[in-house]
Amino acid sequence: MLNIKKTKLHVASALLLGSLMGASSMSFAETLKLSHNGDTKSPVHKALKFFADEVQEKTDGDLKVRVYPNGQLGTQRESLELLQSGALDMAKSNASELESFDPAYGAFNIPYIFRDREHFYRALASEDVGQKILSSSAEYGFIGVAYFDAGSRNFYTSKPVHSPADLKGMKIRVQPSPSAIKMMELMGASPTPLPFGELYTALQQRVVDGAENNIGAVTTYRHGEVAKYYTRDGHAMIPDVLVISTKTWEKLSDKNKAAILAAGKDATAYMKKIWGEYTEEELKKATKMGVEIIDVDKDPFIKAVAPMFQEAEQNPVIAPYVKAIKALDK
């Protein structure tokens, strides 16, 4: 009888010890906050959730990532500023936004620098281009982890655009980016920086004659209801970028750093797959909305913005990247 009691006591002690150890290990599991401005149905949110799951699996639960969509923690710019101070761990931004923090990202913003999607991916994977740029921003308070496909940017307008001549005099909404503004000016259009949230009404009321973005803007945000022509000139392939605060990065163990980078590569490959599927689906939706899809000869557009290439080749910060990107065009 005494032995039975001792056995029960040992079992209870073991269970209690196991429980305490479990609670202790859970208390040491670190959770990183990741902010982005997409909705929960967007491909980028799916890719970021995939990334979070990969991090947890690769660290055996020692490190977790909690994803906050819809700009819950601030705009892209606000998130980057929070990263720099260490108040936020991770964020999804894009090369246009990042250029104002780290000039190296400007290499991605030159129009027509990528011949096609495969050229784009070769550049992102290249040690001399994409990977080097990811690590270039440590001194600015954040480090690049991975790239995500955000599609090609194309014109959608109130009248057909087949060449730069058709853009002459048209007011085209652009991001507040020096590269985007310069591109529009060289094509003869009138660049009009405008908050994205105001664009539908601006198109509807003809405050602007068009805009430029990927196909999701036409369908998800219903811009195709008020701009019936989508010209696939592919003037820009600007990647989304997952970044982590330098302060957060320096606190992580080498094992967890390696896990984050590995999960980032896996998420890049996953995003490549789902973005291709997404684009095909959204083009079909656009056609059903009555949007005319126009394919064009890119050469006249490329010729129009040639001065931007010449200027980039003289820029000491991005010239080496521009040269390396060109070398990858095979």
pLDDT along the chain (330 residues), means of 10: 44 41 49 94 95 98 96 91 96 91 93 94 96 94 96 96 97 88 96 91 97 94 97 96 97 97 97 94 97 97 96 95 93
> What is the structure's pLDDT at 295?
97
b/e code 71-110 from CB counts within 10 Å (16+ = b): eebbebeebbbbbbeeebbbbbbbbbbbbebbbbbbbbbb
> What is the structure's pLDDT at 29?
67
- Concatenate the DSSP letters of all residues of 49-95 into one string: HHHHHHHHHHTTTSEEEEEE-TTTT--HHHHHHHHHHTS--EEEEEH
> What is the structure's pLDDT at 18?
46
**CATH 3.40.190.170 in the chain, residue ranges:** 30-102+137-149+239-282, 153-237+288-327
In the chain, what are the helix, strand and coil shares in percent, each to the nearest 5?
A: 55, 20, 30
> What is the structure's pLDDT at 28?
55
Q: Is the distance from CB of 183 to CB of 111 less than 8 angstroms?
A: yes
Q: Judge: domain 153-237+288-327, CATH 3.40.190.170.
A: yes
* Assigned fold of 30-102+137-149+239-282: D-Maltodextrin-Binding Protein; domain 2 (3.40.190)
